[in-house]
Every structure is written in C-alpha cells, then in structure tokens.
Amino acid sequence: MIFRAIIALMLLAALPAVAELPVVDISPGHTKTFLVIHPHHDDHSWVSGQAGLVTKLVDAGWTGYYVRVSNDEKDGPHGYPHDDMVNLFEAREATENLGIKDVISLNWRNDYMDPTPHNEIRAQLILLIRKYRPDLVTSYHPWGHYDRNPDHRKVAKAIGEGVWLAGFANVHPEHRKLGLKPHRVPYKFYSQRFDYGKGYEPNVVVELSESNIRRKARSFWVHRNVRLRGSTGRRMRQLLKDQGLAIPELDGLTDIEAHARMQEWSMYDAARKVGGEHGIEYGEIYAHLGEWHPWPGLRDHIDSNAVDK
Amino acid sequence: MTPSLHRIAAALLLAGLFLVYGSPAQADDDKVVLVITADASDYVLAAGGTIAKILDDGATGYLVRVTNDDKDSWELTPEETARRTREESEKAAKILGFKEVESLGYRAGELGGVSPTELRDRILFYVRLYKPSVMFIPNPYAEYVEVLDRFYVGQAAEDARRAASLSNYQPPFAVVGLETHVTPELYYYAQPFDPRRREPESTATFVPQPKIVAIASTFGKKLAAAQALKTINHSMAMRVKDRLETTGRRLPLLDEVDEVSVSKLVEINVRKLAEIAAQDTDHAQAEELHYAGVEYQIPTKYLQ
Amino acid sequence: MNTENMWLAVRAGVCRIVAVLCVASFYFPTLSGTSISPLPEGHVPPGKTLMVIQPHHDDHTWQYGFGGLIAKMTEAGYKGVYVRVSNDEKDGGMQNGWGANDISNYEDTLDATKNLGLGEVISLNWRNDHMSSIPHIELRDQIILLIRKHRPDVVMSYHPWGNYDRNPDHRKVSWAVGSAVWLAGFANVRRDHAKLGLEPYQVPHKYYSHRSDYGRGYHPNIFVELSEDDVARKAKSYRLHKIRVSAGAGKRTRELLDAKGLKIPALDGLSDEQAHERLQEMLMVWISKQRGQENGVPYAEVFYYMDEWHGVPGLSDYIQANVVER
C-alpha cells in the first residue's frame, strides 16, 4: 500500500504543474484597432492581463482605446467625485504609458451597476464597437462566474454579447444614420482572476518581451491613488529589517518610491511565472475566441478551404 | 392477525407497490416532449437528432420558441425577418416531427432586459399545459455561448421546470385548470462552444451529467430541419463571407451565395457538429447533451 | 312669455352660465398653480428636526419652495438635514467632466443650505438622470435608515403624486420618500435597523411641492406666511447655486430691456454676473410676493401638507376632538 502510494506520488511529481498553452500569434488585423473595455480605471494592468498584450499590439502598429465603464467613485480615500476624477486622470496616464490613444469613460456608478439594465450598457458598447471597428477586444471573461466583483461580471456580460450583436444590422439600426455599419469583433481575448473558485481555463499564452513587461509594470503603479502607499513601503522595509534583511535596490528611495519598485517587481514576477509555465520568458494567459468561434461546425472547413481573394 | 390474513395483506401491499413503482415504462406514444429554445436554430443544431428520435418513437412534441429571431438576417428589416423565420421555424419543427410550435415573440437579443421571473412564468405555463415527460432546454451553464438569449432562456426554463411542480408558484394557474406537474427527465443542450462541455462539475446527485446520443438514424431529418431555416442560414453565410472578404479572403463555396451554396454550407456545419459530438465515442454522428434523469438528486446509495 | 316659462328660461340660463364657469374653472384656475380662493394658513408645527430630501443640489429653493419654509423653521429653532439623492453630474457643462460638476454642485449645496440654517448635507450620489433603473426599494430603504436615524418631525420633498413632473429623478425620489415616511414607522420593515438601535419612526408632518406650470399642475392645500428675512435668505440661497447664475444671462437681460428703452436701476454699477445674481434674487422675491398676494399676506409659499393623522382619515377628526394632555 505504502509502495503504491510512493509510486503514485512519484508519478504525480513527474507531471508538469500546468499543461503548456499554445503561444498565440497576434493576427495582422484588418483595421488594426483594438478596444480594452473594463469596468474600472486600473483593470487593464493586473497580473491577469492585459497591459502586456496592449503594448505588444501597439508595438505592432495597432491603435487602441480604453473604455472605462464605471466612474470609480468607490476606489480611493478622497470621496466619490474626487476619486472619480483622480482615477480617470491616472487611467489616462497609465494607458498612455502603454500606448493607448484615448480613454472613454461611461461613468456608470461604481459598485452599483447591478440594476443598470444590461441592454443599456451593451448599447453603449455596440455604438463604440461600430465607431472604432476593432479587430480585437480584450476584457474580463464573460463566463468568469467566480469573479466576486459585480462590476466585472456586469460589464463582461455586456461585452460577451455586444461583440457579436454589433454585427447584426437590425440591432440598433438607428446607428446607420450616423454612418456606422454593423461590425462583429473577430478576435476576443478574455481574462480573469484565477486565484479562487474554479479559476478559469485560458487557452493561449501571449509571449511578452522585457519591454512589454517594463511598461506594464510601470502602468500598474501609476494608479497611485489606489496602488501606492508610502506606509506600505515603510512597513515592508521594517518587516525586512526586523528579520535582519534589506533589499539593496531600495536604498536611497523614499518609501513611496520603494513601494513603486516593489509593485514593478511583482508584475515581473507574475509575468515570469506565467511565462515559465509555458516555455517562454514572460507571458500573459487568455481565453481566446477566434474569428470563427460562433460557427464551430464551419471552422475547420473555412480554415482548410478559404483562399486569398 | 392470522397467517392467511398476513398473506393477503402482503399481497395487497406488493400489488400496490407494483402499481405505483412497477408499472412498465411509459409507452412512447404517451410520452410528451417539450422543447424550449431561445431561437429557431439552436435546438436543431444542438439536439435536433435526439429529439427526432424520441418523436419517431411515438412521442408528441411541442416547441416553444421564445424569441422572434428578428435580428438574424442579412439586409432584411426586423419585421420581415421575424415573419420569415416564424414560417421557417414551423417548417423545421414539422420535419423533426413536432405537433405544434409556440412563438412567444420576444425580440431577439433583448432578453437581458426582460424580467427573469416573467420568462420563467411564461414557460411554466407550457410545462403545466403540456405535462411533458421530457424537456429539452438550452444549457445555461455552457460557457462561451455569445448568444446570451440562450442563457436567459435556459435559466428561466430550468427554473420553470422546478416551479411547475410547486403549487405556490402561480396559484392563478390552478384556477384555470393548470395543475402542478413534475417533469421526470430533462436534457440540457448547447452547441459545442464550451471546451469543457464534457466535464461534469460534480456527481449525478448534484448536477446533470454529460450524455452523448448517437443520431445516425435521424441525421437526415436534423439536416433537413436545419436547411429549412433559410433566413438564418443565409445570414450565417453572408456574415462568414463578409468577414472573409473584409480580410482579403474568399471561400470558393460562397463565391455565389444562393440556395445551393447556403444549403451546402449548412450541411458542412451540421455534419461537423455531429462529428465533434461523436469524438472519442464509437458513434459516427452524435449530439452532446447534459441529462438529468429520475436519479438526479437522489443519492447513489438509495438507488441501489 | 308667461311667468312659468320665464322662470324656466332663467333657470336654463343660470345652468348654462354655471356650466361654463365649471368648464372654465377646470381649464383655467391652475395655470398659475393656485386655487382661486386663499388657502388655509399653515403654521410651523411643534418639533425640533426637519429633513429635506431632494434629488438635486438646488431643489430646496426655487419657485416652488422650500427655501422660505426652511428659513422660517430654522428661525423657529428647528435643526435640519439636507439629503441630496443624486450626484448632480449632469448639471453643468462637460468641460471638466461629471466629477467636477458633482463637486461644484455639492459645494454650492453646502453654502446654500447653511444660509437657510440647515446643519448638514448628506449625499447619496445616485447617478443623476440615470435613476430610473434604481430598484425603488433600495432607494426607499436608504431614506428609511436616515429617517430612523434623525427622527425628523418634518420632511419636505417633491410631491410623490406629482405625476406631471417631467424630471425622472424628481419622480423617482419623491416616490421613494412617499412610502419611506410611512414605512419607517413599521418595526417589521427592515428589522435589521434595530441592531443599530434605530427604532421605528413615522414622520408626522410632510410638506410636498412640485411644479405647477404644466399638466394638471398640483393643488396645494396650505400657504405658509414668510417674513422679509425668510424671503431674503431664500433669495440668496437660490443664487448661491452658481449654475443658476451666468454673466451671459445678465447681459442678455440688459440688452432686452435696453431694446425696449427700459432699465432696472438696481442693476446699475453691477457686472453682468452680479446683475444676474440680483435678478435671480428678485425672482425669488417676486414669486414669494405673488403667492402672498394670492393668500392675503405679503409673502408666502404654498404646499401640499399631510399632517400626522393623514394615514387614518376616518379617525383624524375624532382624535383631534378628543385628545387630551397626559
């Protein structure tokens, strides 16, 4: 019995911790435009995405826009309208650092989005999709059921439907009066947190360079209102000191600069860990839905038989 | 009690038990199948073959189509789309063997704004009216299904099936003669968008289990029904073509988009879907479903 | 014509005249929002606390109330709270964005309500002009919590049955207030409040108002006499909301007067912006005077007043006739 258990354990240990995902090539794109659609000011730059992908697209010549769906009034210590304004300001700075061209804020009430009619948010997103005609949309995962944040669920659901319905002429036909034609978004990159619940199942990894990660790392802490605290920097240093330790790279930095540096390291660390699990140096993982996702029965045929015009 | 009375009592008890539990399975021509679908094509593509099998065996079928499909067309107004799709959906249902189609007329793509309890109670009405032995509903747990109408309808239908057995749901229904009803079997269907669709989330006691059904015998009917949905099929073909053209590609099959090429495209689609469902099985053509039967929510030890 | 026929003719004529008057009274008397005859006078009820619950920053003071009544009550010793239900993000230009409008309007509310003697502003910050989809019960329960906390003797708000109010925020908030003032008195409504030591509390005196210049208007049932000081404070509070003052409007008004060979001496020497401020104050004085004249006093505001026995109309007279001191 014990022998069998030992063998089983050895076999288990021999298995890779995570099955490697395919590294996705970024399609050349047709309009070479992408939209990053998120409920909050800082959702673009998490461990789970999407800042690295954004910089990769921008480096490849794509034009990107960030859509902030809520007003972020709850995120910060300054009171609703001040936090709205500060967070928007920092979103502009952070996304500009990634190469995003503009930030559009829809200003729905942060953490009060549940009663907002789904169709209303979706209608706004369809309008923007038809305006910018993105080849690629990236957002939270519409089927990320374990996301605790109600704004994430609400917005992701609206996107999950919007990216497809925007392609139907009879959905909001009034858009034609503005010269906006139907447009179905062909490529979707969805991400969500994977540290609780059943997690999520990404199907691709995006390979990133050091340059991509450097910009991602910086954009993370540019959201100073919510992500930088001198007190945290101070506390970390004290914790290390109590154990007779120090990090030389933090010498000469103020507490807030130290915290910024540590935030950057955490981004590098996460990207390196993901990359390591998939045979590359740095990575971000996504659930990628390709252009023929709506027709699973036709995908193979199209892939095999479509030719250049 | 004397031994002879014991025997009589035991015999009566056994007879009673036999009558209650030992009756032969419901004859198929007594069986009623109720299919709830968000749109005209989903149930055909995901479960049409399985449904046709049950109807071929003598069951009576009713279809409730919740939306009017008014968005799914190419260069037609919503009103014209709705009109055509209604006719075509009835034709498709007839091919599969349905007795009747009910179209609730909700606008396609707008179910996010409809009260879930309103949808549930509309469906509940039909459950109590038709008293089905088996229901087919869209699987609201399937992921990556961008047509959210299917999620809303699936969720409402699942709740309706449960609520139909409880008298404190819609007591006015009883006033008009719609009594409570328990539907013994439930199938969840979805097209294969979800890569984890074959993984049950838990045991049969707690969640419906994946079930793959061979459909070679009814594949022809399924295909014919799918091809009858001309407006939706034309819309699919044009959207595929449009995407290809926009990106500098073409599918020779769709160089001319007409009834012949669209029909062929549909055949390719339906065959491939059947092939995907049959993967890793002995079947040539199949459908993937999730099934909640009589043992659902009864712990295994009580079934033995 | 014989006497009998003459009498019949006179009777018919009188009936016709009465009918015409009835029709005229149906269509005409509410145009200015007042009833034809003076209203009964309302008095400041006994009490210590008042709560003004409105959707927007500036709803406490305009042509339709409540600034004068608030000033009168605080002068009489009432302490008061202003509850701003929305975030006012839409009230202002978009040069600086929604958040800036929220802040600016909120700060003006602090000034304007302080001028009327109110001690606190509570902002619920629901999204301005996006309130239709807020679940009624959510909003109502926030108000119930605040009512149980402050236990106001008086609540002022827009009329819950002001069906012709075009502003969706007004309708939404007044509807929530209309049920909250009553439901807050029931222990089984939000029993969890008891855990905070908040006892049930039913608001005894309600003063409602709304616009009367369209639809069927509304029918106030009391007037409240205001002093010159009340009106002066009301007038100032009106224009302390900077969104109501613009140099452009001041300039335009002067040009209009000038084109007719007229001017207002009180505006001499003032900048266009100051001139508009003064004009806005004059508007408040004028409307208060108008209401006063209709009711036989120098200055007034009119309201629909629901007293403490409104909820039991069959007992109201009996209670008032038989109640004694303990």
Domain ranges in chain B? 26-297
Residues present in chain A in total: 309
pLDDT of residue A255: 94
Residue A80 to residue C97, Cβ atoms within 8 A: no
Overall domain count for chain C: 2
Residue A84 to residue C130, Cβ atoms within 8 A: no
Residue appearing with tokens 């549909």: B266
Query: Domain A27-209+282-292: what homologous superfamily?
Result: LmbE-like (3.40.50.10320)
Verify that C190 and C268 share a domain, yes or no. Answer: no
Q: Does any domain span residue C141? A: yes
Helix or strand run (H / E) with residue A38: strand A33-38
Using a CB-CB cut-off of 8 Å, the residues of chain A touching C135 are: 115
Residue A173 to residue B78, Cβ atoms within 8 A: yes
Using a CB-CB cut-off of 8 Å, the residues of chain B touching A306 are: 244, 249-251
List all chains that touch chain A, counting a touch as 3 or more CB pairs closer than 8 Å: B, C
Looking at per-residue pLDDT, the higher value among C310 and C169 belongs to C169
Q: Which of B13-17, B150-154, B176-180 has the highest mean pLDDT?
A: B150-154
Question: What whole-number distance in Å separates Cα of residue A255 and Cα of residue A273?
Answer: 27
For residues C291-300, give the mean pLDDT: 96
**Share above pLDDT 90 across residues of chain A, in percent, rounded to a whole number:** 75
Using a CB-CB cut-off of 8 Å, the residues of chain C touching A88 are: 97, 99
Question: What whole-number distance in Å separates Cα of residue A45 and Cα of residue A140?
Answer: 12
Partners of C155 in the β-ladder: C51, C206
| Nearest-Cα residue of chain A relative to residue C103 | A81
Q: Using one digit for the tens of pLDDT, what is the confidence trace for B268-299?
A: 999 999 999 999 999 999 999 999 987 776 66
- Lowest mean pLDDT segment, chosen from A83-87, A166-170, B245-249, C143-147: B245-249
Integer CA distances (angstroms), B265 to A185, A295, A307, B236, in order: 22, 11, 16, 9
Tokens of A127: 């309008």
pLDDT of residue A4: 56
pLDDT of residue B66: 98
Looking at per-residue pLDDT, the higher value among C15 and B223 belongs to B223
Give the confidence band of A197 by pLDDT, cuts at 50, 70, 90.
low
Looking at per-residue pLDDT, the higher value among B250 and A67 belongs to A67
- DSSP state, residue A39: S
Verify that C206 and C284 share a domain, yes or no. Answer: no
List all chains that touch chain C, counting a touch as 3 or more CB pairs closer than 8 Å: A
Please check the confidence at residue B2 and state whether its pLDDT lies above 60: no
Give the confidence band of C141 by pLDDT, cuts at 50, 70, 90.
very high
Assign 3-state DSSP to chain A and report helix, strand, coil percentages, each to 5.
45, 15, 40
- What residues contact residue C16 under an 8 Å CB cut-off, 6+ apart? none
Verify that C193 and C95 share a domain, yes or no. Answer: yes
Q: Does any domain span residue C323? A: no
- What residues contact residue B120 under an 8 Å CB cut-off, 6+ apart? B156, B157, B159, B160, B163
Domain that holds residue C288: 234-294
pLDDT of residue C314: 82
Residue A116 to residue C130, Cβ atoms within 8 A: yes
Looking at the predicted complex, does its ipTM rise above 0.85? no
Amino acid at A197: G
Using a CB-CB cut-off of 8 Å, the residues of chain A touching B222 are: none
Integer CA distances (angstroms), B70 to A57, B40, B83, in order: 36, 11, 8
Integer CA distances (angstroms), C74 to A150, C43, C70, C239, in order: 43, 13, 6, 20
Question: What whole-number distance in Å separates Cα of residue A210 and Cα of residue A271?
Answer: 10
Question: What whole-number distance in Å separates Cα of residue C56 and Cα of residue C66?
Answer: 13
Question: What whole-number distance in Å separates Cα of residue C86 and Cα of residue C59?
Answer: 11
| Nearest-Cα residue of chain A relative to residue C97 | A85
Using a CB-CB cut-off of 8 Å, the residues of chain C touching A84 are: 98-99, 102
Q: Of the candidates B71, B196, B250, which has its C-beta nearest A309's C-beta?
A: B250
Core vs surface per residue B42-69: b (16+ CB within 10 A) or e: bbbbbbbbbbbbbbeeebbbbbbbbbbb
Question: What whole-number distance in Å separates Cα of residue C244 and Cα of residue C284?
Answer: 12
Using a CB-CB cut-off of 8 Å, the residues of chain C touching A116 are: 130, 133
pLDDT of residue B20: 42
Verify that C287 and C305 share a domain, yes or no. Answer: no
Verify that C59 and C198 share a domain, yes or no. Answer: yes
Question: What whole-number distance in Å separates Cα of residue B231 and Cα of residue B283?
Answer: 31
A120/C contact by beta carbon, under 8 A = yes
| Nearest-Cα residue of chain A relative to residue C88 | A81
Verify that C207 and C262 share a domain, yes or no. Answer: no
For residues B81-94, give the mean pLDDT: 97
| Nearest-Cα residue of chain A relative to residue C123 | A80
Q: Using one digit for the tens of pLDDT, what is the confidence trace for C67-82?
A: 999 999 999 999 999 9
Question: What whole-number distance in Å separates Cα of residue C260 and Cα of residue C251?
Answer: 15
Q: Does any domain span residue C8? A: no
Burial of B124 (0-12, 13-18, 19+ CB in 10 A): buried
pLDDT of residue A131: 93
- What residues contact residue B127 under an 8 Å CB cut-off, 6+ apart? B34, B135, B160, B161, B164, B181, B183
C-alpha distance from A81 to closest chain C C-alpha (Å) = 5
- What residues contact residue B59 under an 8 Å CB cut-off, 6+ apart? B28, B29, B31, B32, B33, B133, B134
Please check the confidence at residue B21 and state whether its pLDDT lies above 70: no
Verify that C289 and C257 share a domain, yes or no. Answer: yes
Integer CA distances (angstroms), C205 to A72, C56, C79, in order: 38, 22, 15
Give the confidence band of C227 by pLDDT, cuts at 50, 70, 90.
very high
A168/B contact by beta carbon, under 8 A = yes
B166/A contact by beta carbon, under 8 A = no
- What residues contact residue A94 under an 8 Å CB cut-off, 6+ apart? A41, A42, A44, A45, A219, A220, A222, A223
Q: Using one digit for the tens of pLDDT, what is the confidence trace for C3-51?
A: 666 666 556 555 454 444 443 444 344 334 444 579 999 999 999 999 9
CB B185 within 8 A of CB B291: yes
Helix or strand run (H / E) with residue C65: strand C65-66
**Total Cβ atoms within 10 A of residue A303:** 10
CATH number at residue C70: 3.40.50.10320
Question: What whole-number distance in Å separates Cα of residue C164 and Cα of residue B73?
Answer: 42
- What residues contact residue C74 under an 8 Å CB cut-off, 6+ apart? C50, C80, C116, C117, C118
Q: Does any domain span residue C15? A: no
Q: Alpha helices of C29-93 — where are they, by DSSP H?
A: 67-75
Question: What whole-number distance in Å separates Cα of residue A264 and Cα of residue A280?
Answer: 20
Verify that C95 and C152 share a domain, yes or no. Answer: yes
- Lowest mean pLDDT segment, chosen from A82-91, B158-167, B192-201, C113-122: B192-201
Give the confidence band of C158 by pLDDT, cuts at 50, 70, 90.
very high
Nearest-10 crossing angle of helices B78-96, B219-228: 160
Partners of C54 in the β-ladder: C84
Question: What whole-number distance in Å separates Cα of residue C261 and Cα of residue A199?
Answer: 77
Among B241, B152, B144, B275, smallest CA distance to A293 is for B144
Question: What whole-number distance in Å separates Cα of residue A27 and Cα of residue A288?
Answer: 12
For residues C161-182, give the mean pLDDT: 88
Report residue A34 CA to chain centroid gap. Answer: 13
| Nearest-Cα residue of chain A relative to residue B274 | A297
Question: What whole-number distance in Å separates Cα of residue B189 and Cα of residue A198?
Answer: 22
Q: Using one digit for the tens of pLDDT, what is the confidence trace for A198-239?
A: 667 899 999 999 999 999 999 999 999 999 999 999 999 999
C-alpha distance from C130 to closest chain A C-alpha (Å) = 9
Q: Does any domain span residue C125? A: yes
Report residue B241 CA to chain centroid gap. Answer: 29
HEC sequence for B81-100 = HHHHHHHHHHHHHHHHCCCE
Report residue B32 CA to chain centroid gap. Answer: 13
Domain boundaries B26-297, corresponding CATH code? 3.40.50.10320
pLDDT of residue C318: 82
If you write DSSP's letter for every residue of B44-91 in order, what string do you get? HHHHHHHHHHHHHTT-EEEEEEEE--TT-SSS--HHHHHHHHHHHHHH
Partners of B249 in the β-ladder: A308
**Mutation for C interface: A41, A74, A85, most C CBs within 10 A:** A85
A112/C contact by beta carbon, under 8 A = yes
A 80-109 near C (Cβ less than 8 A): 80-82, 84-85, 88, 105, 107-109
Residue appearing with tokens 């003697």: C117
Q: Using one digit for the tens of pLDDT, what is the confidence trace for C256-291?
A: 999 999 999 999 999 999 999 999 999 999 999 999
Question: What whole-number distance in Å separates Cα of residue A283 and Cα of residue A209?
Answer: 8
Domains in chain A: boundaries: 27-209+282-292
Q: Using one digit for the tens of pLDDT, what is the confidence trace for A3-52?
A: 555 554 554 454 445 678 888 888 777 889 999 999 999 999 887 779 99
Q: What angle do CA B86, B92, B95 make, to 5 degrees?
A: 145
Please check the confidence at residue A185 and state whether its pLDDT lies above 80: yes
CB B154 within 8 A of CB B188: yes
